[in-house]
Structure 1
Amino acid sequence: MSVGLRWQVSRLMARISFKLTQMDTGVRFYHQSDERAFFEWLERIPCVSSVRGEGADGLVVRLKRRPGKDDLWSLLALCHRYGVDMRQLVKFETPENRDWFRKPGMFWYRATFGDEELDSPAVPRAVRRRTPGAE
């Protein structure tokens, strides 16, 4: 790889934040075991490099790399299960995962991407109806 191309790739990677913040905001643990399960689940996701509280940023999860498909599914499931805001996961959308990640009707869709795309005429009416919260 040429020096110029390497520099462009490193600039692009610097713009992509591999940090998730406020991962504890709104989370309610019902037992010590529930809290332990939350942290153990986070730490078992292969792309996660560290999990720690960082003041105003709350619980910060740093990633070693962009999440792969299984990593992203795990993050989506964990956030859904514990009520963590999923909007920051949008930054992990790629051309490779767009077909399943942006699929209306999936349990994470509305919490991650909002309602705007569900109102599109391109989204079948049946999908709009069965999406939780859709009218």
Structure 2
Amino acid sequence: MEIKIKLVRFLSKGDEQRFFLGLNEILAIKSCSGLGGCLVLKVDRRVLSNVMLKEFIALLSRYGVCLSPLSVLADSKKFSWVNDPGFYWYKSMFEDS
């Protein structure tokens, strides 16, 4: 599946490198490419685990990226737990759309 996220402003070259290093550590993210002010991520849902998704959410949250593109994952039974309003990401994922 493709997930398109809006890029944020990085504070330094090292800051940008750490962001992309974090993405590369999530094995379900198969590729990423820039498209205008967005980043297009190819994610293999079959490989994506609950732990990887939590790391993905945490990384994007740390950098202030809107999480609404990830809301489509809540439609699957495997990731229905992301739809819990008690989690810190809920507002960014479902209400800031």
Task: Output the TM-score relative to the length of structure 1.
Answer: 0.62
Partner of 1:82: 63
Post-superposition Cα deviations, 1:97-135, rounded to whole Å, max 9, x if no partner, equal 32x3122221101111118xxxxxxxxxxxxxxxxxxxx
| Cα gap change, 1:64 to 1:96, in 2 (>3 Å) | closer
Partner of 1:63: 43
Partner of 1:101: 82
Pair 1:20-2:8 in alignment: no
Does structure 2 conserve the Cα–Cα contact (< 8 Å) formed by 1:23 and 1:61? no
Post-superposition Cα deviations, 1:45-73, rounded to whole Å, max 9, x if no partner, equal 010111111347x2111113353211211
Amino acid at match of 2:11: Y
Unaligned 5+ segments in structure 2 are none
Give the aligned CA root-mean-square deviation in angstroms: 1.9
Q: Please give the alpha-carbon distance, in whole angstroms, between the structure 2 residues aligned to 1:39 and 1:105.
A: 28
Task: Output the TM-score relative to the length of structure 2.
Answer: 0.83
Specify which structure has the higher proportion of strand.
Answer: 2
Q: Please give the alpha-carbon distance, in whole angstroms, between the structure 1 residues aligned to 2:12 and 2:41.
A: 22
| Cα gap change, 1:45 to 1:23, in 2 (>3 Å) | farther
Partner of 1:39: 20
Q: Please give the alpha-carbon distance, in whole angstroms, between the structure 2 residues aligned to 1:22 and 1:113.
A: 14
Identity %: 33
Q: How many pairs does the alignment contain?
A: 94
Which ranges of 4 or more aligned residues in structure 1 deviate by more than 4 Å? none
- Give the secondary structure class of the aligned counterpart of 1:21: strand
